[in-house]
């Protein structure tokens, strides 16, 4: 599988990268939009630049990536669109509001696309990992339950793509934990995240 990187916030740059790639390797069968950023959300929302970048990269990046290959896929009546979202999409975790909201937007966007594209030969796969050991999480100074290696995450993603799954959440332990946290009262979440919030950067902007 070939991979290519372009600034996913700018559609023209993305289009040019795809054009170059397709002229060398042929049409895109599978698009996996994986680029993403994550910053703690400041309590006073003063880190607006980081919040803007979060939505531009995590949400618009996915839309631009899909748009750059969809016309060809629709024409060929085949293809697979996938995005690496997160289990964070399922709950607004304190201190991570922007990241969680961006991933929730990805999930809903893909859900709509999946329903819209049914019967066209194009499948849409939403990938929701828990904590994965990558440079994004290497900077975290808090306990990350059920952390998996990048290799293990890659295997799970490949399997989900091959099975043309609609939504793939992993690891199951973290998926179950997030399911539980979704129905917990706010007060319990506040207590569970007390340490994280007191040591999190950007507390006051």
Should residue 67 be labelled a site residue for ligand NAP when binding is judged by CB under 6 A? no
Catalogue the active-site residues: 99
Site string for ligand NAP, 115-134 (x = CB under 6 A): --------------x-xx-x
Cα gap 175→156, rounded to integer Å: 14
The first and second tokens of residue 76, run together, are 């060929």
Q: Say how many residues touch ligand NAP, by CB under 6 A.
A: 19
Asked if 182 and 204 touch (Cβ cutoff 8 Å), the reply is no
Question: 100: alpha, beta or left, given left = phi > 0 and alpha = psi -120 to 50?
Answer: alpha
E strands in the chain: 30-33, 79-84, 122-129, 167-170
* Interface residue with ligand NAP, options 15, 22, 30, 37 (CB under 6 A): 37
Cα gap 53→33, rounded to integer Å: 16
The smaller minimum CB distance to ligand NAP, of residues 51 and 86, is found at 86
* Interface residue with ligand NAP, options 17, 30, 35, 63 (CB under 6 A): 35
Q: How far is CA 112 from CA 12, 88, 107, 126, in A?
A: 24, 19, 9, 11
Should residue 89 be labelled a site residue for ligand NAP when binding is judged by CB under 6 A? no
* Interface residue with ligand NAP, options 45, 48, 108, 136 (CB under 6 A): 136
* Interface residue with ligand NAP, options 26, 71, 119, 135 (CB under 6 A): 135
Please measure the distance between the N-terminal and C-terminal CA atoms of the chain and give it in whole angstroms: 41
The smaller minimum CB distance to ligand NAP, of residues 70 and 87, is found at 87
Contact residues toward ligand NAP (CB under 6 A) are 5, 7-9, 34-38, 57, 84, 86, 129, 131-132, 134-137
């Amino acid at each position: 599988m070939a991979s290519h990187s372009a600034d996913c916030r700018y559609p023209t740059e993305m289009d040019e990268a795809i054009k170059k790639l397709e002229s060398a390797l042929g049409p895109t069968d599978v698009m996996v939009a994986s680029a993403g950023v994550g910053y703690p959300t400041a309590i006073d929302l003063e880190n607006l630049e980081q919040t803007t970048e979060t939505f531009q990269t995590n949400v618009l990046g996915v839309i631009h990536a899909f748009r750059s290959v969809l016309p060809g896929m629709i024409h060929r009546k085949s293809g697979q669109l996938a995005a690496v979202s997160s289990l964070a999409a399922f709950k607004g975790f304190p201190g991570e509001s922007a990241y969680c909201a961006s991933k929730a937007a990805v999930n809903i966007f893909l859900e709509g696309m999946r329903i819209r594209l049914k019967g066209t030969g194009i499948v849409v796969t939403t990938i929701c990992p828990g904590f994965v050991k990558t440079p994004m999480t290497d900077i975290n100074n808090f306990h990350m339950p059920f952390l998996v290696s990048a290799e293990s995450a890659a295997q799970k993603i490949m399997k989900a793509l091959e099975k043309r799954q609609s939504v793939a959440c992993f690891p199951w332990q973290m998926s179950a934990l997030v399911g539980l946290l979704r129905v917990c009262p706010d007060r319990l979440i506040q207590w569970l995240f007390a340490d994280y919030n007191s040591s999190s950067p950007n507390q006051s902007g």
